[in-house]
Amino acid sequence: MKKKIKKFIKQFKEFEYKEYAKTNVLFLTFVITTLLNGMLLRFITVHNYFAIKPIVADLAMILLFGSFVYLFKPKNRFKYLLIMSVIFTLICIVNSLYYTYYMSFASFSLIALSLTVVDVGDAVVKNVLQVKDFIFLWQPIVLIIMHSKLKRRDYYNTVAKKENKKKKFMATLIAGIVTYALFFMTVTGVEYSRLSKQWNREFLVTKFGVYTYQLNDLFKSLDAKFNTLFGYDNAAKKFREFYSEKREYKTNDWTNKFEGKNVIVLHAESFQGLTLNQTFNGKEVAPNMKRLSEEGLYFSNYYAQASSGTSSDTEFTFSSSLLPVTNGAVAVSYWNREYETIQKLLKEKGYRTISMHANTGSFWNRINFHNSLGYDKFYSKVDYDIDEEIGMGLSDKSFFKQSVQKLKKEYEKNGKFYATLISLSNHTPFDDVDKYGEFDVDIKEEVKTTNENGEEETKTVSYPYMEGTSLGNYFKSVHYADEAIGVFVDELDKAGLLENTILVIYGDHDAKLPKKDYVRLYNYDKENDDVLDKDDENYSEVDYYRYELERKVPFIIWSKNEKFETKIDTAMGMFDAMPTLGNMLGFKPKYALGRDIMNLDDNVVIFPNGNWLTNNIYYNSQKDQYKVLNTDYIVNSDEIQKNNDYATERLEISNDIILYDLIKNENSRLERVEGE
């Protein structure tokens, strides 16, 4: 053994590095530039600058894939390396784009989703695509330039005479394997576990590098296609154990409160909670939503739990009390599973279930997805007269007016109903400003001055404030959407549809706007038309946690004939809506992961990336850090671990239910057992 080690050391010392560098210029250029691109991506996204582990992992991946270049003749190697460069560069560009919009990293399963969201192309270009996303193109450009120089020097013919292709291939391949082996020796059990689960993508990129993450994601995406072949028994066992205890439903003052009433659900596109309390020059951004929240039952600490499926994820989670999948979107990839939903449980109680959306039925595969959720009828774009367009399609005001008439006919024909209306106008990129109506987001002040005659005058001075910003345009869009909600309520009243009816409104997700706009919102210096300096005593920091907390959305239950005037501050997730409404409407879900919020003083809200929050603390699972939200709260490490386990268990159970169609299979199994 000692002789082998000495021999290896001797060969290492005698290795002609200069000669190797001279005869492998193109390959080394490929390795170094691709490695730098991976570092650049982490720098731009997660600010993970020079951490050694992801660099080592990236290097191993580059060496492994790059080694195959030596199976080609020197004159043909450029083509292979260029193809690999384009692939690695695209990985960086796509992930940079995706992180800008979703604050997470892309998945191969999203390729299928991209085909369903072509209509939001303008939104991507205007709100997401930035100059930084093209920085990564320098890598293949440098490779092309280097190839041109080498070609002029007759470099490839010279190399062909000197090298042993097979030896170089094996040496490079082994170098990649050894590098990976060294890397995985440093990986902890927790990191292995998260790599397997895949739902904490930011963590994976910071620990494993973007290239290893993407390869692992590819395997996970392929695994999802063959999930019925592997892992089913283990998933089914965990599923049965989780639901083995009979769930007790505690009664409260709201039990059966709305049993037998019609239910109209308004899926309010991109409506954030902060808009309800935002004013400009004394005018409210969302006066109608504000009024409804004050008159109704208002859940002020309500969070969306959407992932890559955005609006469709929200529809799914609100209806089923399950969480989105870790890869892709339920609406596209797993719509043909069996789910327990509000719609199905109300149908058992004699309700007609209806959904309405003035977009194409193929968008998010709603034409199939809504049927799977349990809707009897889906009114899509083909059912509407597109007489006024704003943003992505039919204006909300026209949509609501036309929808009310359809609802009236449905009610007259079929009786009590559960209807979901999905709004559209308040969709990113919020650039149809001319159609939103007059609503200034500047600062206007009355200033007294003295004219040339010494007379005192009063004039209005205006400061730009949020005018011209993405967030400013969003407020204008919300103001229009709020006006449309006012029209909706009026039209329902005129049609007599507010009698014996509750109106349920929720924001489907936040506006996904850049943090810098919020910094300006809270730190505007009107004298300089700029943001206050961070050292200024009046500066209000918008850090990661504040930004995340600002993403909460409104959830309101309102009735024309009864004013509840009740505000619930308990932290609540989208998947808590179903059991909460179930208690009020008189049905008891069997497979809900959320809880009836009316029975809780505190609650754990789980996000698809593994983060969670309670009334007291927000936990960032990517960084294993937290922010205390309640100054009276004393941090308890056991409680944090308990909530981590709680979140992990529900994420896994939810994912297994969807992947393995466990509700359908378990119901079939129980039927067989009962029949024996």
| Chain centroid to CA 302 | 16
**Rounded mean pLDDT of 437-446?**
95
633 close to 617: Cβ distance less than 8 angstroms? yes
Query: pLDDT tens, 243-254?
Result: 987 677 899 999
**Minimum mean pLDDT range among 7-11, 285-289, 326-330, 422-426:** 7-11
Question: 229-267 in b/e burial notation, b at 16+ Cβ within 10 A?
Answer: eeebeebbeebeebbeeeeeeeeeebeebbeebbbbbbb
Q: Please tell me the predicted confidence (pLDDT) of residue 12.
A: 44
Per residue in 469-491, pLDDT (tens digit) is: 999 999 999 999 999 999 999 99
> 272-281, 308-317, 338-347: lowest mean pLDDT where?
308-317
Going by C-alpha positions, the residue among 107, 110, 95, 108 that lies closest to residue 46 is 95
DSSP state of 75: G
β pairing state of 417-422 and 262-268? parallel
Residue with the larger pLDDT of the pair 622 and 604: 604
Arithmetic mean of pLDDT, 623-637: 92
Quick one: average pLDDT of 434-460? 87
pLDDT on residue 597: 97
Percent of the chain with pLDDT over 70: 91
* Structure-token pair, residue 151: 């070609």
**What structural domains does the chain harbor?**
2-225 (no CATH), 240-675 (3.40.720.10)
As given in the structure block, the two tokens for residue 82 are 């260029």
**Contact criterion met (CB below 8 Å) for 610 and 324:** no
Distance between CA atoms of residues 124 and 637, nearest Å: 41
pLDDT at 480: 98
557-594 per-residue burial string, b: 16 or more CB within 10 A, e: under 16: bbbbeeebeeebebbbbbbbbbbbbbbbbbbebebbbb
Report the alpha-carbon angle 506-375-581, nearest 5.
40
Position with higher pLDDT, 452 vs 651: 651
667 has a pLDDT exceeding 80: yes
Looking at residue 142, its pLDDT comes to 95
In the chain, the percentage of residues whose pLDDT exceeds 90 is 68
Q: What does the pLDDT read at residue 110?
A: 61
Q: What is the pLDDT of residue 18?
A: 66
Cα 95 to Cα 45: distance, rounded to the nearest angstrom: 9
Peptide bond into 429 cis (omega under 30): yes
Segment 321-330 shows an average pLDDT of 89
- Could you give the CA distance from residue 481 to residue 269 in angstroms, rounded to a whole number? 9
Query: pLDDT band at 14, cuts 50/70/90?
Result: very low
In the block, tokens 């930084």 appear at: 132
**Which residues sit opposite 446 in a β-bridge?**
460
Task: Please give the Cα distance from 412 to 304 (Å, whole number).
Answer: 34
pLDDT tens digits for range 80-123:
999 999 999 999 998 888 887 666 788 776 655 554 544 444 44
